[in-house]
Amino acid sequence: MMPAEAASSGGVSEPPGVPRERRRRRGRARARTEALLHTLKRSRRMKANDRERNRMHHLNSALDALRSVLPTFPDDTKLTKIETLRFAYNYIWALSETLRLAEQCLPPPPAFRGPPAPPSPGSDAGSWLSSGSPAAPSLCASASGPSSPATSEDCGYVPSDALRAFRGLPPAAPGAPCR
């Protein structure tokens, strides 16, 4: 099975001339040490498995939190992990585009102090923005930022009218004037 076990189970023969009783005692002692080592390894492995399981659970919780802020239709559709990541990427891109277009159309009010707080998915709502970096996501090698949406090949595709579609609105007319 495991190389380590295979190596440890192989016996090394005693040199000749050692009394039989002493050899037997030595053999027993070695067996005890090996058993101890085995249980030690086993318990370490089990602890590591436990940590790994917890780590994956945390990862899944984070993924669930991400899912919960993504619009899906029908509402109870559960995105797979990869779909969640791809969709999130595209959703962020769509939001950025919307923001950019809105800024082009509307001059900011005089007392504008920045964007409103994001929707809070849970108690640690702040933590998911805690990096403080507005840097564009770069999940896809082919995408360099919000100005270059994901290709269908790499990250799936959400049309630029995604946000309108999310709200049940018809797509905007191409080249429609701001107002």
What are the residues binding DNA (CB under 7 A)? Answer: 2-4, 44-53, 55-57, 60, 80-82
Of 24 and 57, which CB lies nearer to DNA in the complex structure?
A: 57
Any residues with CB less than 8 A from the CB of 129 and at least 6 apart, and which?
118
Residue given tokens 């900011």 in the structure block: 108
Least Å distance between CB 53 and DNA?
A: 5
Of 1 and 173, which CB lies nearer to DNA in the complex structure?
A: 1
DSSP at 108: P
Largest CA distance in the chain: 102
Q: Output 109-115 pairs: Cβ under 8 A, ≥24 positions apart.
A: none
Least Å distance between CB 129 and DNA?
A: 19
Please tell me whether the peptide bond between 74 and the residue prior to it is cis, using omega within 30 degrees of 0. yes
Least Å distance between CB 14 and DNA?
A: 28
Of 74 and 175, which CB lies nearer to DNA in the complex structure?
A: 74
Of 30 and 47, which CB lies nearer to DNA in the complex structure?
A: 47
Any residues with CB less than 8 A from the CB of 72 and at least 6 apart, and which?
79
Of 2 and 12, which CB lies nearer to DNA in the complex structure?
A: 2
CA dist 99 and 115 (Å) reads 10
Least Å distance between CB 154 and DNA?
A: 15
Least Å distance between CB 51 and DNA?
A: 4
- Burial code (b: 16+ CB inside 10 Å, e: under 16) for 99-110 equals eeeeeeeeeeee
